Amino acid sequence: MTHPAPPAATLAAKWQGRAQRLRVPLGFVTATLFLVLARPTPLGLTVGAGISLLGLGWRAWAAGHIRKDEVLTVLGPYRLTRNPLYLGSALMMLGCLVAGAPWPAALALATLFVGIYWPVMQAEAKHLAKLFPDDYPAYAAQTPLFVPDLRRFGAAWRDGFDWTRYRHHREYQAALGLLMVFVLLAVKLWRQG
């Protein structure tokens, strides 16, 4: 007896759930793999650090606004993209890859990032649509999923920032992690030299 194949929507939903559970553990695995494969250069470290700091700042800005599952956050960087935390993470990863990844490793890690975070963003969009059925559809219609609409940057910047939110979300841990990665890359560069 053969069983019909599950519909594509069911498979997508299953992967979204797995991606949400796997994103943090895979982050540690890929960071370790990256550090093992990294071949940093002085120019790469400098440019990569700048890109990563931009991503870190973007994540911090988002953490100072988000009120997960309490209210639909639409201020600050959430005016520009529905996923500013993931955009910040992507910029941090890009900076690390520029700092020292050989291109095959960079391509593999970038593909993994998209394969994990795209379904996570889709799952979170569904979650927010259920939590905020009156407000989310209009917000989603006017705010890009990932790539920011920088035309609204001035208004977003004027929305302020809440340090208690930043501390509540322990976003300083991202700064410490990024610092550790760049210190290890610098040590690796020094040992190569």
104's CB contacts (< 8 A; 6+ apart) are none
- The reported pLDDT for the residue numbered 33 is 80
> What is the pTM (predicted TM-score) of this model?
0.83
- pLDDT over threshold 60, residue 5: no
Tell me the average pLDDT across 146-175: 92
- Cβ distance 178 to 56 under 8 Å? yes
Any idea what DSSP says for residue 72?
A: -
- The reported pLDDT for the residue numbered 142 is 96
Tell me the average pLDDT across 152-168: 92
pLDDT, greater one: 193 or 112: 112
Confidence of residue 84 (pLDDT cuts 50, 70, 90): very high
Query: How many Cβ atoms sit within 10 Å of the Cβ of residue 89?
Result: 20
Range name among 52-56, 70-74, 109-113, 151-155 with the lowest pLDDT average? 109-113
Q: How far is CA 181 from CA 45, 93, 97, 156, in A?
A: 11, 11, 11, 30
Residue type, 119: P
- The reported pLDDT for the residue numbered 116 is 83
The pLDDT tens digits of the residues spanning 10-37 come to 666 666 666 666 666 676 777 788 888 8
Mean per-residue pLDDT over the chain, rounded: 88
Tell me which architecture the domain covering 26-192 has in CATH. Up-down Bundle (1.20)
Please state, in angstroms and rounded to a whole number, the distance separating the CA atoms of residues 191 and 83.
38
- The reported pLDDT for the residue numbered 149 is 95
Tell me the average pLDDT across 110-128: 88
Classify burial at 183, counting beta carbons within 10 Å of its beta carbon; exposed 0-12, middle 13-18, buried 19 or more. exposed
Tell me the average pLDDT across 48-68: 96
Instruction: Tell me the percentage of the chain whose pLDDT exceeds 70.
Output: 87
Show me where the domains of the chain are located: 26-192
